[in-house]
Structure 1
Amino acid sequence: MSRFQKLSQTIWHCQYHIVWVPKYRYRVLHGEIAREVENLIRAFSHQLKCEIIELNVQIDHVHLLVMIPPKVSISNYMGAIKGRTAIRILNRFKKLRQKPYWGNHFWSRGYCVDTVGLDGEMIRKYVKYQEENERRDEQQGLF
């Protein structure tokens, strides 16, 4: 089986590692909010015909390894994901809107994106196990 995907006149393998944070990097992505963010990212990615390889919602940031077809730009993908999840999260969890610093924004303005080449398996493992590694480092007093 080939690692490439097919469109009508294109074969492609466009894999990206994307990281973004809530506004002011507040540590709000836990419990029900984290589960809802993960479900929304998966649903909106599916609607855009993007395949999630790994997704890790941590308390203050999101790591995503995703395959995005070439007809969808990264900026359009992130605009849809961040915009639509923010609307849903702020509507569902009204307590977040009560804070004066949120306004109508849930996510910070930017994001980090990196293309994944032949080291995709290494990056997939990093995204999957990063939270465990951070927890272990904290217990050992490295942070």
Structure 2
Amino acid sequence: MDGALSLSHSKWVCKYHVVWIPKYRKKKLFEGLRKQLGDVFHALAQQKECRILEGHLLTDHVHILISIPPKMAVSS
């Protein structure tokens, strides 16, 4: 398997496409925070032992392709 990661007894490839949309799609919120959101998302992913493979910060929502270990739920 190309690009597979491994745990003690298994190999895995778990990639999820997550779309984060704030309530009411506040465009003003993203204007001021857009430059800092990328760093914040990467820091949060690193705390949870995940990797952000790709991400797009649009004017009112965020698309993230994230690699999550199978021992974790996507919602956490």
TM-score under structure 1 normalisation? 0.49
Identical amino acids, percent of aligned pairs: 39
Q: Which runs of at least 4 in structure 1 moved beyond 4 Å after TM superposition? A: none
Aligned to 1:5: 5
The letter of the residue matching 1:72 is: M
Query: Quick one: higher RCO (CA 8 Å, sep 6+), 1 or 2?
Result: 2
RMSD: 1.5
**Greater helix content:** 1
| Alpha-carbon separation, structure 2, partners of 1:10 and 1:16 | 19
Computing the radius of gyration from Cα coordinates, the structure with the larger value is 1
| Alpha-carbon separation, structure 2, partners of 1:63 and 1:18 | 6
List alignment gaps of at least 5 residues for structure 1: 77-143
| Alpha-carbon separation, structure 2, partners of 1:11 and 1:30 | 41
What pairs with 1:1-143 in structure 2 (closer than 5 Å)? 2-27=2-27, 28-31=29-32, 33-76=33-76
Secondary structure of the corresponding residue to residue 41 of structure 2: helix
| Alpha-carbon separation, structure 1, partners of 2:26 and 2:44 | 23
| Alpha-carbon separation, structure 2, partners of 1:73 and 1:34 | 27
**Greater strand content:** 2
